Amino acid sequence: MIAPSLTERYVATMAIQTKEKLVAIVDDDELMRSALQGMLKSVGLPSQAFESAEEFLKSGQQQQTACLIADIRMPGMSGLELQAKLNAEHCRIPTIFITAHGDTKMRMQALRAGAVEFLAKPFDDEVLLESVRAALENWAQ
Partner 1 sequence: MKGRSKLGRYSVATICCGVALAVAWPIDAPSSCFLLAVTVSSLFGGLGPGLFSIALSSLAFNYFFLRRTFPLATEPATYLRFAVFLAAALLITGLMELKRRVEESRNRAEEALRQASSDLARVSRVTTMGELTASVAHEVKQPIAASITNAKTCLRWLAADKPNLEEARAAARRIVEDQTRAAEIIKRIRELFKKGAPQREWVDVNEVIQEMVVLLRSEAAPYFISVRTELAADLPHVMGDRVQLQQVLMNLMMNSIDAMTDVNGTRELTINSQLGENEQLVVSVSDTGVGLPAQQADKIFDAFFTTKPHGTGMGLRISRSIVESHGGRLWAADNSSRGASFQFTLPTKLEVHE
List of residues contacting partner 1 (CB under 8 A): 1-5, 28-29, 31-32, 34-36, 38-39, 41-43, 73-78, 100-101, 121-123, 125
| Closest separation in Å from C-beta 123 to partner 1 | 7
Provide the minimum distance between the beta carbon of 68 and partner 1 in the complex, in angstroms, as a whole number: 17
CA separation for the pair 120, 97 (Å, rounded): 8
User: 19 vs 100, which CB is nearer to partner 1?
Assistant: 100
CB 4, min distance to partner 1, A: 5
Nearer to partner 1, 76 or 138 (CB): 76
The helix (run of H) or strand (run of E) holding residue 6 is helix 5-18
Bridge partner list, 50: 26
Cβ closer to partner 1: 133 or 140? Answer: 133
3-class DSSP state of 108: helix
The CB-of-41 to partner 1 minimum distance in angstroms stands at 7
CB closer to partner 1 out of 12 and 63: 12
Q: Compare residues 17 and 78 and give the one whose CB is closer to partner 1.
A: 78
Longest dimension (CA), the chain: 42
User: Whole-number minimum distance, CB 127 to partner 1, in Å?
Assistant: 11
SS (H, E, C) 10-69: HHHHHHHHHCCCEEEEECCCHHHHHHHHHHHHHCCCCEEEECCHHHHHHHCCHHHEEEEE
